[in-house]
């Protein structure tokens, strides 16, 4: 398959606040070693005035800066999140408006747990490849929710990343192929009125995360005739710091291929931002000619496996916006009380 499309610009955003896993363990009476078990030591927390839309907007501004294009040439804005500020009212239009992309564009919010943004990426590539739009903007951002005291709370984090996609001639990374694998799997869900998601405990790993990513990645490599050693970098969805290393090993990838794109240990699981931020971190350092495998995963369940080849254009675009590591390093620790206020775990009534 010759698609002639690729990533034209990438952008990240991670809020500055961090809460340590040991602080959450202290409040809820967990074994202090829980962080080591999960491979996550602290997580990023959005400030009191941040939500998935503002986080996505910051990432999108960085992506458009790197792309260096007039935003009016963007013909589709897709926003993937499972923490939309409004149940009904698109975030994609707010982002499109703030970037000056409106009104001559498509815009929609997508939902597929943590891979909604990735579905947007596939759709945008398809629209560019078929000549219906010149450029597309894809945003994955979340202020991930977790029931206080649930094991999910150690990792559920805030952050996002965005990509401008367009024709291969402008690309920093050309899309070589993509394969998607989905089934109906009840591993994680949230009903309309529930504030927090519910997960199927042990069921979230094997039949969900591992089976879908393994199937997507094998399906892609078969179609492209590639082997694990053909890739320089591999990025998986990162619900914690351990799963990506485990799936990598199972598929025959080395730790060295995974680590550059592994961000969960420093910021936690940013849901729709997770694999996207890992991919952005790889683009921050990748040399022309590098081949990158990216495999987001979303509960419910599905995984996409993409293969990208980096072009010479990457070098001049790299320094146009802050890098993932700049955001990881720029942090302020808060305690559980401030985190609870910022993430609206404490309900306050205006009377």
Q: Which residues carry out catalysis?
A: 82, 114, 237
Q: Which of 170, 327, 339, 343 binds another protein (CB under 8 A)?
A: 327
Pairing of strands 297-298, 302-310: antiparallel
What gap in Å lies between CA 214 and CA 240, rounded to an integer?
Answer: 17
Stretch that binds another protein, among 149-157, 228-236, 261-269, 327-335 (CB under 8 A): 327-335
| Residue 12: closest CA among 59, 46, 79 | 59
282 touches 292 (CB < 8 A): yes
Using CA atoms, how far residue 39 sits from 49, 62, 116, 278, 279, in Å, is: 29, 29, 25, 16, 19
Q: Which of 54, 118, 185, 215 binds another protein (CB under 8 A)?
A: 54
Asked if 153 interacts with another protein (CB under 8 A), we say no
Determine the distance from the C-alpha atom of residue 322 to the mean position of all C-alpha atoms in its chain, rounded to a whole number: 17
Helix (H) / strand (E) containing 75: strand 74-80
What gap in Å lies between CA 81 and CA 52, rounded to an integer?
Answer: 7
Q: Which of 246, 322, 336, 340 binds another protein (CB under 8 A)?
A: 322
Tokens matching residue 299: 């509960």
Asked if 329 interacts with another protein (CB under 8 A), we say yes
Residue 159: strand pairing partners: 142
Q: Which is nearer to another protein, 233 or 327 (CB)?
A: 327
Segment 72-91, which members bind another protein (CB under 8 A)? 85-86
Q: Which is nearer to another protein, 190 or 320 (CB)?
A: 320
Q: In sequence order, which residues have a C-beta less than 8 Å from that of residue 330 and are 6 or more positions away?
A: 16
Q: Which of 94, 156, 221, 247 binds another protein (CB under 8 A)?
A: 94
For residue 339, the minimal CB distance to another protein (Å) is: 13
Judged by CB under 8 A, the number of residues near another protein is 30
Asked if 10 interacts with another protein (CB under 8 A), we say no
Q: Which of 20, 21, 53, 66 binds another protein (CB under 8 A)?
A: 53
| Residue 135: closest CA among 186, 77, 58, 197 | 77
For residue 276, the minimal CB distance to another protein (Å) is: 18
For residue 66, the minimal CB distance to another protein (Å) is: 12
| Residue 278: closest CA among 332, 241, 317 | 241
Helices 116-129 and 274-283 pack at an angle, to 10 degrees, of 60
Asked if 323 interacts with another protein (CB under 8 A), we say yes
Asked if 337 interacts with another protein (CB under 8 A), we say no
Q: Which of 230, 316, 330, 335 binds another protein (CB under 8 A)?
A: 330
Asked if 42 interacts with another protein (CB under 8 A), we say no
For residue 79, the minimal CB distance to another protein (Å) is: 14
What gap in Å lies between CA 146 and CA 154, rounded to an integer?
Answer: 9
Q: Which is nearer to another protein, 182 or 345 (CB)?
A: 345
Task: List residues near another protein by CB under 8 A.
Answer: 16, 47-51, 53-54, 57-58, 85-86, 94, 97-98, 100, 319-323, 326-327, 329-330, 332, 341, 348, 350-351
């Amino acid at each position: 398959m010759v698609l002639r499309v690729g990533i034209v610009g990438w952008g990240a955003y991670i809020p500055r606040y961090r809460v340590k896993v040991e602080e959450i363990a202290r409040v809820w009476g967990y074994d202090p070693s829980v962080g080591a078990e999960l491979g996550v030591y602290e997580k990023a927390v959005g400030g009191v005035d941040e939500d998935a839309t503002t986080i996505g907007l910051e990432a999108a501004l960085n992506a458009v800066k790197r792309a260096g294009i007039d935003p009016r040439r963007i013909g589709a804005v897709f926003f993937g999140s499972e923490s939309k500020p409004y149940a009904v009212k698109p975030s994609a239009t707010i982002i499109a408006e703030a970037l000056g992309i409106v009104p001559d564009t498509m815009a929609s919010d997508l939902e597929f747990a943590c891979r909604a943004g990735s579905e947007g990426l596939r759709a945008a590539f398809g629209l560019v490849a078929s000549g219906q739009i010149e450029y597309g903007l894809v945003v994955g951002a979340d202020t991930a929710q977790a029931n206080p005291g649930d094991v999910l709370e150690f990792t559920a984090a805030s952050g996002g990343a965005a990509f401008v996609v367009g024709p291969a001639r402008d690309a920093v990374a050309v899309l070589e192929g993509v394969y998607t694998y989905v089934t109906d799997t009840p591993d994680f869900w949230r009903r309309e009125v529930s504030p927090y998601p519910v997960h199927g405990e042990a069921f979230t790993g094997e039949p969900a995360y591992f089976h879908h990513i393994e199937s997507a990645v094998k399906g892609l490599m078969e179609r492209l005739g590639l082997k694990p050693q053909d890739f320089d970098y591999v990025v998986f969805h990162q619900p914690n710091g351990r799963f990506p290393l485990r799936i990598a090993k199972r598929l025959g990838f080395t730790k060295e291929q995974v680590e550059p794109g592994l961000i969960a240990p420093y910021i936690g699981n940013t849901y729709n931002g997770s694999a996207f931020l890992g991919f952005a971190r790889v683009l921050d350092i990748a040399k022309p000619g590098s081949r990158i495998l990216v495999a987001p995963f979303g509960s419910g369940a599905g995984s996409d496996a993409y293969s990208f080849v980096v072009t010479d254009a990457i070098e001049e675009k790299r320094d146009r916006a802050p890098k993932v590591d700049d955001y990881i390093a720029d942090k302020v620790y808060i305690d559980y009380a401030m985190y609870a206020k910022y993430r609206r775990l404490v309900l306050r009534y205006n009377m």
